[in-house]
């Protein structure tokens, strides 16, 4: 361990240490505070070291508390997003069952349901080998070293050719996997009702 003179020299020269001057996202006040912490460490006084550890423990406490709060906020947000999707799903279902029209009006709000591009449900994991060969794509990923271009790993995976399947279904191609299908999709938009004014 260094002698007291060495620590004293470090404490005296701490203001010249470049790493404190170059810390990103650190204000001058924070840099000055960090210099004090370094001087406290250099002084080798037990109570000063204890106060630094106490500060670290306080940081740990706040980090844990905010992590918990962030998780709670994320869960609440996700719950509201699910609720939103369920309500929109009910509106779309009511339209598909001809219970409502595509244009909806309330006293303050209005909404519009419109048909959009059908969603492809390919169920690729249930395809037979001949269907994969006919309507599948092969994706190859090669990992190589920059230094000598030597190949480290090659990965291959099969994927559905979604554009081709969609076109084949629309053309009633008999070769298309029967498990793949196009499902009607709808969008729902809403906003404040536009007020009609008499001119």
Taking the model in full, what pTM does it have?
0.58
pLDDT attached to residue 28: 73
Among 183, 163, 182, 178, CA closest to 131: 178
- pLDDT exceeds 60 at position 112: yes
Tokens of 136: 């599948």
Give the β-pairing of 151-160 and 136-144. antiparallel
Among 169, 157, 171, CA closest to 120: 169
Dump pLDDT digits (tens) for 80-107.
Answer: 999 999 999 999 999 999 999 999 999 8
């Amino acid at each position: 361990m260094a002698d007291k003179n060495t620590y004293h020299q470090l404490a005296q020269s701490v203001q010249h240490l470049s790493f404190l001057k170059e810390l990103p996202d650190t204000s001058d006040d924070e840099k000055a505070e960090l210099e004090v912490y370094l001087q406290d460490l250099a002084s080798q006084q037990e109570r000063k070291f204890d106060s630094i550890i106490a500060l670290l423990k306080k940081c740990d406490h706040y980090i844990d508390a905010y992590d918990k709060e962030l998780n709670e906020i994320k869960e609440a947000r996700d719950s509201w997003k699910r609720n939103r999707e369920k309500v929109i799903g009910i509106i779309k279902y009511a339209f598909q069952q001809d219970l409502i029209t595509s244009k909806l009006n309330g006293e303050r709000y209005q909404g519009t349901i419109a048909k959009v591009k059908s969603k492809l449900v390919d169920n690729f994991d249930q395809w037979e080998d001949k269907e994969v060969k006919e309507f599948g794509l092969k994706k190859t990923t090669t990992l190589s070293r920059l230094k000598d271009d030597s190949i480290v790993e090659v990965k291959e995976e099969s994927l559905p050719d979604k554009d081709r399947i969609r076109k084949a279904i629309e053309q009633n191609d008999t070769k298309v996997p029967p498990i793949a299908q196009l499902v009607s999709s709808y969008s729902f938009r809403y906003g404040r009702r536009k007020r009609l004014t008499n001119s």
